[in-house]
Amino acid sequence: MRLGNHIRRLRFEHDEMSQQDLADAVGVTRQTIFSIEKGKFVPSALLAFKIARFFDKSVEEVFYIIDDQ
């Protein structure tokens, strides 16, 4: 079971925002945003909520579960 996300799409929908800008907005490093988008790092609940709130979305609209088949 893995965590997928729509962060990259949402960034581009927000005036093609860079990973660095999103990182600055939610208080993490750019590498963390990069790793989350790639699915290499699972954010904490707090960070997930921060990212969702930044995009004015619910957490379920930003993140989703990928069932391993």
Rounded-to-integer distance, Cα 28 and Cα 7, Å: 14
Rounded-to-integer distance, Cα 1 and Cα 28, Å: 25
Which one, 13 or 24, has the nearer CB to other proteins?
A: 24
Rounded-to-integer distance, Cα 4 and Cα 6, Å: 7
Which of 6, 17, 34, 57 touches other proteins (CB under 8 A)? 34
Which of 6, 8, 14, 28 touches other proteins (CB under 8 A)? 28
Q: Does 58 bind other proteins (CB under 8 A)?
A: no
Q: How far is CA 58 from the centre of its chain?
A: 12
User: Which positions touch other proteins (CB under 8 A)?
Assistant: 20, 23-24, 27-32, 34-35, 38, 40-41, 43-44, 47
